[in-house]
Amino acid sequence: MRKATEFFKQNKNALIVLLLLVVLIVIALSFGGNKSKAVSLTGSDDYNKSETEIKLQQILSSIDGVGNAEVMINEGQDGIEGVIIVCDGADSLMTRNDIINAVVTVLKIKSNNIAIYAMNNNK
């Protein structure tokens, strides 16, 4: 016990600096973590659509063949990581191609980051 007490007395400043660094790291991780947006799987209304999602949903719905559309954009620290689109016209290859071209153009992402699914109309 004496050795530990002597060690702490001799290295007091170094221990304080180390403790402050640990606190700063914890704070940085808690505030600067992945700011990914995601929708609840329970279907609750916890998820607030961004302005970009709303605009994209509106423009996609106006494209011939798309029909009703829902859009979710997953954003990470470095930008958009993926887009999910659920729409009536997802069964048509031509419509899917139009959707992909529109999303790639407006969001400047790669087409492999876009997932398109057919809308379930049996609600």
Same domain as 56, residue 27: no
Tell me, yes or no, whether 86 lies in a domain: yes
Same domain as 26, residue 58: no
Instruction: With a cut of 90, say whether residue 117 has pLDDT above it.
Output: yes
Same domain as 61, residue 7: no
Tell me, yes or no, whether 43 lies in a domain: no
Tell me, yes or no, whether 37 lies in a domain: no
Tell me, yes or no, whether 46 lies in a domain: no
Listing DSSP states for 54-105 in one string gives HHHHHHHHTSTTT-SEEEEEEEETTEEEEEEEEEGGGG-HHHHHHHHHHHHH
Strands 69-76 and 114-118: unpaired
- Entry pTM: 0.62
Domain of 16 in residue numbering reads as 2-32
The number of distinct structural domains making up the chain is 2
* pLDDT one-digit tens code per residue, 40-83: 443 444 568 899 999 999 999 999 999 999 999 999 989 999 99
- Name which of 80, 75, 73, 82 is nearest 54 in CA terms: 73
CA angle, residues 5, 7, 9, in degrees to nearest 5:
70
CATH code assigned at 112: 3.30.300.30
Same domain as 102, residue 66: yes
